[in-house]
Structure 1
Amino acid sequence: MNVYVTALLATFSFALGSQIFTYYARSVSSTWMNAVKAMVGLLFFVLFVSLFIGFQKISLPFILLFALSGALGLGIGDIFLFKAYSEMGPGRTMMLFGFQPLILGVLSYFFIGQAIEPKKLIAIIFFVGCLFTLSLEAFRADGHWQIKGILMALLWLVMDSTGVVITRYSFDQNPDLHAMEGNIYRCLGAVFVFIVMMKLKPYGLVSNFKKMKWKSRSMVVFGSFLGTFVSLALYLEAIKTINLASLAGINVSGTVFSAILECIIFKKKPTPYLGVAFIFFLIGVKILF
C-alpha cells in the first residue's frame, strides 16, 4: 500500500474513533477514556504480534525510547487532546492540527536532520487565521475566546510531535522492527502513565466500565480498536519511511473527516465561522503541498 494512502487511512480511522472518544471523555472523563483506549490498543497489538509476526530482538534503550514516545504522545499528550475535544469538539480541535507540520518540521530538522521548507512558515499564517476564527466564534457564542481548549490542543501537538520524532529515530536505528511491535512499546509507555495517575488520583478505571450498559462498553472498545489499534498500526507504518513534515501535512486531512463526521453524527449545521476557518485551513494545506 502506498505510504501516503496508509497515512490517510490512519487519519480517517483516528477521526472516526475521536467521535466516540469525545462522547465518553465528556460523560466520564478524559483520563478514563485515554486509559481505556491505551489498554485496548495494547491488548490488540500484543495479540497481533504474538499470532502473526513474532517478537524481534531489540535492545532495552530503544524499548525505553519507544515507551517514552508513547508516554508523551499517547499518554500525557492525549489527555490534553481529549480535554480540547471536550471544550471545542473534535472537528474544531483537529483544525489546529495545521500547526503540526511546522512543529514536526522544526523538531525533525534539529533532531534527525530532515529539511524544513520555507513555505511551511507561510502556511502557518493561514492556520493562525483559522485559530483566530474559531476563537472569535466561541467569543460571540459564549462570551469567551475558548483559550483553554486551544491551549490544550497546542500542548497535545507539542507532546505528540515530540513522540513522533522519537519514534522515527528509534525506527531509523532499528529498520527491521515491525511497526506493530513498535506500537506495543509505545502503548506500554502510555499505560504506565495511566497506572501512575491512577495511584495519584483514582479515576475509576474498572468501576466506570462496570457501570456502563453493554452497548456503551461495545462502543468504547470499538472506538479504541479503531482510533488506537487500526489508526496507530497504519500511522507507525507511515512514520517508518515518510518525511515527517509531509506526514503532518497529511494529518491535517483529519480536520475534514472529523468536521464532516461531527456534523453527521451530532446533526449539527456548519456555522459561517466554521466555513471561514475551513477556508483558511484549505489555503494553508494548499501551501503545504
Structure 2
Amino acid sequence: MALVAAFGMAGGSIAFEIAGKKIGSLTVNMLRLIQGMFFLSITSLYMRGMPLPTDASLKEYTFLGISGFIGMFLGDLFMFESFVLLGARITTLIMTTVPVVTAIVAWVLLGETLSFKEGIAVFLTIGGIFLVMFYGNKKGETKEKFPIKGIFCAIGGVLGQSLGLVFSKIGLESYDPIAATQIRVIVATIAFIILISIKRKWGEIKKGAKNKRAIKWVVAGSFLGPFIGVTAMLIALKNTSTGIVSTLSSTSPILIIPFCVLILKERIKPIEILGAIISVGGASLFFI
C-alpha cells in the first residue's frame, strides 16, 4: 500500500503540475479536494455503508482534523505552489527530506539524539537533492530553474507532510482509513474555503472551473493523489510503522521520472536519476 501511495502521488503530482500552470495552485487545491471527496464518499458508501465519517470519535476527529489542517491544507498549499514554481519532479525530490525533518524535530524538541547511521542518512538525502539542483550550474542557471520562493514553498510542504503524518498515526489506530481520509479532506476543504473567501478569489476559482483541459488533469490528479495515494498511505500506516511507510512512499522522486519523460517530455540527465536514488536511499537508512 505504501508503494501504491508512491505511484499515486507521483502520477497525481504530474497532473496537478500541468493543471496548476493553467489555472493556478489555489484553484487546483480547491477543486481536487472536492473531487477527491466525491471519490471517497462513493467508496465509503460501498465499503462501509455510509457516505460520510459519522461514526468517528471525538479523538479521531480531533487528531485527524489537525492532520488535515496541517498536512492537506498548509502543507499542500505550499507544495502545490511549489509544483508550479519548481515542477513536480523537483518538488517530490525535496519531499524526500520528510524523514530528515522528523528526526531533526525530535532532536530539537524531544532531545532525541541522532546516531551515526542517521547522520549519514541526513547527509545522503540532502546530498542527493544538492546534486540534482546544483550539478553543472553555470551563470545562475540553477537560480533561474529553481527560484527561492519555490524552494521555500517545497520546504513548507515538507513540514506540513511531516507533522500531518504524525497526527494521522495518532488518530487512526482502529479507525477506517477511507473515513479517516474523508475527515482530513473535510477539514482541509473548510480551511481553503475560508482562505479563498478572505482573499476574495472565488471569481478565479469559477473561471478555473470552466477550463476543460485543466479540469481533466485535476480529475486525474484527484483520483491518483487524494483518493488512491492518500487512502493507500493511511491503510499502510494502519498496518505497519510510520517509518516504513515514510520510506516506501518517499520513492516518488524515482517513480515520477517515467511520468516526466512520457507526459511532460522532459529530458532527464543521468546525474538527476542518480541524485534521486541517493536521496531515496538516504531516507531509507533511517528505518533499515
3-state SS of paired residue (2:266): coil
Match of 1:12 in 2: 7
8 Å Cα contact 2:62-2:171 kept in structure 1: no
Residue 136 (str. 1) matches residue 131 (str. 2): no
Match of 1:202 in 2: 200
Q: How much has 1:27 moved relative to structure 2?
A: 1.6
Match of 1:102 in 2: 100
Residue 43 (str. 1) matches residue 38 (str. 2): yes
8 Å Cα contact 2:10-2:252 kept in structure 1: yes
User: Which amino acid in 2 is paired with 1:157?
Assistant: V
Structure 1: state its 5+ residue gaps: 1-5
8 Å Cα contact 2:133-2:142 kept in structure 1: no
Any idea what the Cα deviations from partners look like across 1:199-244, whole Å, max 9, x if unmatched?
A: 111332233112x13x543332122112111111111111123211
User: Which amino acid in 2 is paired with 1:20?
Assistant: A
The CA RMSD over aligned residues, in Å, is: 2.7
Match of 1:164 in 2: 165
Q: How much has 1:89 moved relative to structure 2?
A: 1.5
Match of 1:150 in 2: 151
Q: How much has 1:273 moved relative to structure 2?
A: 4.3
Match of 1:219 in 2: 217
Match of 1:24 in 2: 19
Regions of 4+ moved over 4 Å? 105-112, 114-118
Any idea what the Cα deviations from partners look like across 1:106-129, whole Å, max 9, x if unmatched?
A: 6689999x9987523311101221
Gap change, CA 1:12 and 1:166, over 3 Å in 2: same
| Aligned residue among 266, 269, 275 for 2:267 | 269
Match of 1:33 in 2: 28
Q: How much has 1:96 moved relative to structure 2?
A: 1.8
Percentage of pairs with the same residue: 22
User: Which amino acid in 1 is paired with 2:222?
Assistant: S
Match of 2:189 in 1: 191
Any idea what the Cα deviations from partners look like across 1:45-75, whole Å, max 9, x if unmatched?
A: 2222233303563223431321221111111
Q: Quick one: distance in 2 between partners of 1:7 and 1:34?
A: 23
Match of 1:3 in 2: none
8 Å Cα contact 1:42-1:184 kept in structure 2: yes
User: Which amino acid in 1 is paired with 2:141?
Assistant: D
8 Å Cα contact 2:78-2:157 kept in structure 1: yes
Structure 2: state its 5+ residue gaps: none
Match of 2:61 in 1: 63
User: Which amino acid in 1 is paired with 2:231?
Assistant: A
8 Å Cα contact 1:69-1:186 kept in structure 2: yes
- TM-score, scaled relative to structure 1: 0.85
| Aligned residue among 181, 186, 196 for 2:179 | 181
Question: Which piece of structure 1 moves more, 236-245 or 55-64?
Answer: 55-64
User: Which amino acid in 1 is paired with 2:258?
Assistant: I
Any idea what the Cα deviations from partners look like across 1:242-285, whole Å, max 9, x if unmatched?
A: 21122111122101111221122122221254145235325425
- Number of residue-to-residue matches in the alignment: 278
Q: Quick one: distance in 2 between partners of 1:52 and 1:111?
A: 40
3-state SS of paired residue (1:16): helix
- TM-score, scaled relative to structure 2: 0.86
Q: How much has 1:105 moved relative to structure 2?
A: 4.6
8 Å Cα contact 2:19-2:217 kept in structure 1: no
Gap change, CA 1:240 and 1:217, over 3 Å in 2: same
Match of 2:119 in 1: 121
Q: Quick one: distance in 1 between partners of 2:279 and 2:161?
A: 20
